[in-house]
Structure 1
């Protein structure tokens, strides 16, 4: 048992520097056309590569696309009340519909 622990610690200590070197490679080669050095920014729980541009540190990261809809314009008060009731009813019944769909499928 003691031998197994020694072997596993040896393997762990041998492989740990390779993981650290891979992170450094990723940060250094994020922007190949840039002449300036790239340094990491530590934002919990991730580490992002960063570039210093005109004295400011700018993090290099990818953001997911999102859709922003324009506000709804109703023709009259009756339409707005009907839409509000529809939203209320959907918010009440949607969790039950999801649960039933999970049971059926």
Structure 2
């Protein structure tokens, strides 16, 4: 009997979800780029973590169905990136907020 982790992490990728994640990462990257390049603001490092996490999730969801193990590894990597942002926010928030 497969566990819930096997079904969730190593399940079949979803094309619709891939589009949502990749478009979200692209919108966040565009917003970050606009404020840094045009407005001359300092980069918001928490946003960079979000962009990386969403892009990794989007790539994981856009892989073909037989590549479920690779998709699972990318999903776990995205989770590590987002959890590390959360831990940094709790331990030393000045690293993310400038």
Fold equivalence (TM over 0.5): no
Structure with bigger helix share is 2
Q: Report which of the two structures shows the higher radius of gyration computed on alpha carbons.
A: 1
Structure with bigger strand share is 1
TM-score (norm 1): 0.23
Structure with the larger RCO, 1 or 2 (CA within 8 Å, 6+ apart): 2
